[in-house]
Structures are given as C-alpha cells and as structure tokens.
Amino acid sequence: MVEVVVKSLGLDRASSTPVVILEEKDGERVLPIWIGPGEASAIAMELAGMKFSRPLTHDLFVSVVGGLGGRLRRVHITRVVDNTYFAELIIQRGEELISIDARPSDSIAIALRMDATILTSEELLETTAIEIAESTEEFPVEPEITEEKAGGLSPEELSEHLRRLKPEDFGRFNM
C-alpha cells in the first residue's frame, strides 16, 4: 500500500462533478476520485479549518467512534469497479481492528478530521496515471477555484468569505 494525501479539490469541467485529487506522499502519481457535492463540501470545510457549533455528519461519526473507544488508524482505497471506487475504514478499538466498507469520499472526509493515514494500492496509482494521461483533454481536472466559479471572488477573497461563514448563513440548513 502507498500513502497518499489530499493534493487538491476541483471540478471535472466535462461533467461539473467534484474531484478529489490524491497524490502519493513521496512521489508524483495521483489518484483522482469523482465525488458528490456534499462530500466535496465536507472535505473543503475541513481543509479550510471551518468548524460549526453543531456537528455535521462526518463530525458526528468522529464523535461516535471516539465515544465508543475507537480510533481511525487508516483508510484503504482498495479498488475501482465499473467507475465506482471502494474504501475501508480501519478502526482500532482496544486490541481489535475493525474494517468497515465505506465510500472513499466519506473516508477521506473522516480521515482528515481524525488525522488518519490514507493508503491506496500500487495498481490503482498505476492504472489511473495512464487514464489521466489519456483523458486529460477530454476530462481536464481544474485543481483551483476560478473567479468565475467563485462568483467573481478571487481565491483569497473566497477563502476569507468561507472563513467568515456562520451556521445561520445556511438558512434552513442551520445546524
């Protein structure tokens, strides 16, 4: 298994689908994983250090695992089948290791919150490196938020805006 870190979060221009880019910790290969907007938000909020007065779903999971005496040891991104990625959360509780099937996007959001290692296989890194090289023009990944996508805000202004958000700014989704 190879350790990877979250390199960036962007949008696939062809489908407007969020993509999390994982990069091997001691290398240059990347693993792009297309994810849902909710999970992209959860990852982005954690990367930006945003905290809410009430726990969001991934924060709740962290509290439950900790409350039950567990600790997330690592996340394994194991395989891809029919364009669906699979992952496992490896939780330690006492001497017992528990493996839980999970979506990579949720696993990454939780790993960031629990400071856990994210691992993937050599095979996935090798396969996706070829796929990226072949499909770059058809499905380019935009690693940075552009001013156009950020409502005319520069990346610095958007970052500051996100930092100032309060739970009540989310209206009916108030925590």
- pLDDT interval class at 13 (50, 70, 90): confident
Proportion of the chain above pLDDT 70, given as a percent: 73
Q: Does the domain formed by 2-144 have CATH 3.10.690.10? A: yes
Instruction: Please choose, from the candidates 67, 120, 64, 71, the residue with its C-alpha nearest in 3D space to the C-alpha of residue 92.
Output: 71
- pLDDT interval class at 140 (50, 70, 90): very low
pLDDT of 12 reads 84
Q: Are 30 and 129 in contact (CB under 8 A)?
A: yes
- Stronger pLDDT, 138 or 103, i.e. the higher one: 103
Q: What are phi and psi of 123, to 5 degrees?
A: -60, -45
User: Where exactly are the structural domains of the chain?
Assistant: 2-144
**Residue 99 contacts by C-beta under 8 Å, 6 or more apart in sequence?**
88, 89, 90, 91
Q: How many residues does the chain have?
A: 175
pLDDT of 119 reads 98
Q: What is the mean pLDDT of the chain?
A: 81
Query: Encoding tokens for residue 152?
Result: 């005319």
